[in-house]
Structure 1
Amino acid sequence: MRRFEGYGVLVTGAGRGIGEATARRLAGEGGRVLVTDVDGDRAQKAAAGIRESGGEALALVCDVGDRASVEAAVAHAVREFGTLDVLVNNAYACHPDAALFEDESDEEWQRDLDITLTGAYRCARAALPHLAAAPDRRGAIVGIGSVNGEQDFGNHAYSAAKAGLASLTRTLAGHAAPRGVRVNLIAPGTVRTDAWAGREDLLAAAAAQYPLGRVGLPGDIAAAVAFLASRDAAWITGVTLPVDGGILVSRPRWGSALRGE
């Protein structure tokens, strides 16, 4: 299946984890993908891996916290591909909570919101005119939210930012629909990525709480992105799609498990 043949795609935070898996999936379906990451070496490695697998990918450093960097990335995608049809807002920041809420710092709070929420806003703002110009009303924005934006799983700033993404998805979907651009969000549960390195015990405890019996894999999220970005979802906009192994229906068990109760 090559649902993205001829598409130009930009994925943020694509040097590893969910972003890399998404870039690989969309390239595997024919998309020409710009792999962006604040870490240039990671972006280059991910893009090289896609090319080795037969896909088309370029790499570029992009800091979603900087407007000029974002606008340069969008311009680069349009220049190289001739079109920009899909934006995947995946980049995020998440700092550990302080033991007491009153000890949270302004700097950490602001960092999480600026990268996770405002970064997505910067990317959507820069990309929207090009997505609106995509042929056949195929322009799409897919954001990576979190179950943290739906219920309490900790991480105050990160969770607030992800909840903000859900709201931005709804309002931007209404604004962009007349221009032929769809805007949707995915809310993953726990996903096995490098962010969990060295914490296998917590992943095992988490997996036991999921109705489907495991934590997610980056490919699970990439598959959902591919659906929402494709014409298969041509009549879907403004939604938050949980891809969470059922955790949102079993949330009461989660907190007690991680407390060892």
Structure 2
Amino acid sequence: MQRFEGYRALVTGAGSGIGAAVARRLAAEGAAVLVTDVDADRAEEVAAGISADGGTAAGFGCDVSEPESVASAVGAVVERFGGLDTLVNNAYAGNPETVLLEDSREDEWLGAFDVTLHGAYRCCRAAMPHLAAAGGRGAIVNIGSVNGEQDFGGHAYSAAKAALAGLTRTLAVDSAERGVRVNLVAPGTVDTPSWKGRPQALVRAAGHYPLGRVGRPEDIAAAVAFLASADAGWITGVTLPVDGGVLIGNLAMRRDLGPDRD
């Protein structure tokens, strides 16, 4: 299915994990994708893989904590592909693990917000005129987290993701008359390179998910593609959990309190 034939997309933090999967999914459905990452080499590698598979993509180094870098990335997608229809804000910073608040460092707190929230703000601000000129198909999809909806640890990470959900709602209303939809996907635990070296943690995490496994980057990419497409043309301002059911119940408590099962 080529839902994005003729679309132009920019994906941040797309050098690996969820961002890379999103870039590949959009390209597989016909979009021309600017793959951006703070590590330009990784962005180029992902873009080269998309091109090798027959898609249209280019890599670009972008540090979303720098307004000039964001402006350059938006300018690059418009110049290279002729416009911008889809923005996916995936770049983030912050450790989802919790430390005692008094042991946390202020620079880490501010850094989490500067990339996760302020970076998305910078990208939306730079991209909005182009998205508004996209003839009603402009869409922003922000990548949040279940941490922004419920306690799973990580003070700065969770607070920044919750704030991103708030920005999603206000921007959705503000941009609706300009033909731009804004939504957020909230993943649960996803097997990405951020979990490298901790395979047993993912095994333990899987036991808390009603669907019996942690997520794959492709699970999130599928949801992003839906929200960015015309199939979601009457959806804006929502937070879509893609979380294996973890937000709807406490599986560990259910098992502890329920009847014994052989």
Q: TM-score, normalised by structure 2?
A: 0.95
Q: How far apart are residue 101 of structure 1 and its match?
A: 1.0
State the alpha-carbon separation in 1 of the partners of residues 137 and 250 from structure 2. Answer: 36
Asked whether 1:12 is paired with 2:15, we answer no
Point out where structure 2 has 5 or more consecutive residues left out of the alignment. 257-262
Asked whether 1:87 is paired with 2:80, we answer no
Q: How far apart are residue 249 of structure 1 and its match?
A: 1.2
Q: How far apart are residue 18 of structure 1 and its match?
A: 0.3
Give me the CA root mean square deviation: 1.4
Percent identical pairs in the alignment equals 66
State the alpha-carbon separation in 2 of the partners of residues 183 and 98 from structure 1. Answer: 30
Q: 1:75: which partner in 2?
A: 75
Q: How far apart are residue 98 of structure 1 and its match?
A: 6.2
Q: 1:143: which partner in 2?
A: 142
Q: 2:38: which partner in 1?
A: 38
Q: 2:2: which partner in 1?
A: 2
Contact kept, 8 Å, 2:98 with 2:153, in 1: the verdict is: no
Contact kept, 8 Å, 2:99 with 2:154, in 1: the verdict is: no
SS class of match (2:87): strand
SS class of match (1:237): coil
1:101-129: per-residue Cα shift (whole Å, max 9, x none)?
A: 11111100000011001100000000000
Point out where structure 1 has 5 or more consecutive residues left out of the alignment. none
Q: How far apart are residue 131 of structure 1 and its match?
A: 0.1
Asked whether 1:109 is paired with 2:109, we answer yes
Contact kept, 8 Å, 2:208 with 2:251, in 1: the verdict is: no
Q: Give structure 1 regions of 4+ aligned residues with deviation exceeding 2 angstroms.
A: 95-99, 250-254
Contact kept, 8 Å, 1:93 with 1:111, in 2: the verdict is: yes
Contact kept, 8 Å, 1:169 with 1:184, in 2: the verdict is: yes
Q: TM-score, normalised by structure 1?
A: 0.95
1:47-71: per-residue Cα shift (whole Å, max 9, x none)?
A: 0000111100000000000000001
Contact kept, 8 Å, 1:186 with 1:240, in 2: the verdict is: yes
Contact kept, 8 Å, 2:94 with 2:109, in 1: the verdict is: no
SS class of match (2:190): coil
Contact kept, 8 Å, 1:98 with 1:104, in 2: the verdict is: no
Alpha-carbon spacing, 1:180–1:46, altered in 2? closer, same or farther (3 Å): same
Greater alpha carbon shift after TM alignment, 90-99 vs 12-21:
90-99
Asked whether 1:50 is paired with 2:53, we answer no
Q: How far apart are residue 158 of structure 1 and its match?
A: 0.5
Q: 1:27: which partner in 2?
A: 27
SS class of match (1:179): coil
Contact kept, 8 Å, 1:97 with 1:104, in 2: the verdict is: no
- How many aligned positions are there? 255
Q: 2:179: which partner in 1?
A: 180
Q: How far apart are residue 250 of structure 1 and its match?
A: 2.2
